[in-house]
Amino acid sequence: MRIPFSSLFVTSPFEGLQEHAEKVKECAWAYQQGIECYVTDKCESFEKFRHEVIRLEHEADAIKRRVRGHLPKNTMLPVSKFLIFRYIREQDCVLDSVKDSLNWLSYRPQNAIPKELEKDFFLLVDSVVTPIEELSAMVQEAREYFSTFSEKQRIKAKEIIATMRSLEHEADICEDRLNRKIFTCDADPITVMHLLKLTEITGSIADHAENAGDMMRAMLAK
């Protein structure tokens, strides 16, 4: 008989992972708002949302350090500590990439994205935000699984992981399409370089979310 994960600790490490995932999810909303402000130039709040993301990233870092620092040293875990470390690192990289994307935009405060590319850039942003929102749901299902070892919960978590993998593929398609259009648009070399780097950073958000899903899948494996 398997021992419920929650019975081994005063506080399950998955509670910390859930708390961290919620910070990442909060960050996704501020990220989308910041991007909309920047691209449409209809509000002056881009910097406000950028600093909101930075604040959330600092708070998430504190949660990450707490999770890492409070894993029990002399208690056998049903999952490898190494996998927990790798999981939270990838989840944290999602937030880092969101912050980097906004910071990179801030280096060119005006007219960084040509009108002809705005729609494709919005599509890319939408495609990387959806996997962020799935992270929290995935951790919630995994947390419940490690409390009960219910096969139903394990299947639910694995279904979310499969969805995240599919979403990452869609993000890759958006990234590739935008890169091709950048090379054919009427823009100066500095703008082209800036856009290519921006596209790469933005696309990496979905890459790290998929990597986090892979780490979670490894923890859920029997």
Q: Give the distance from CA 197 to its chain's centroid.
A: 18
| Cα Rg of the chain, angstroms | 19
Q: How many alpha carbons fall within 13 Å on the CB side of residue 80?
A: 12
H-type helices in the chain, by residue range?
13-40, 46-69, 81-106, 115-148, 151-184, 189-220
pTM for this entry: 0.89
Two tokens, residue 162: 């499969």
* pLDDT value of position 9: 47
CB atoms within 10 A of CB 218: 14
* pLDDT value of position 217: 95
Average pLDDT per block of 10 residues along the chain, 222 residues long? 49 87 95 92 85 96 89 67 92 97 92 91 96 93 90 94 96 98 94 97 97 95 78
Distance CA 165, CA 17 (A): 20
Domains along the chain with CATH numbers = 13-67+79-221 (1.20.58.220)
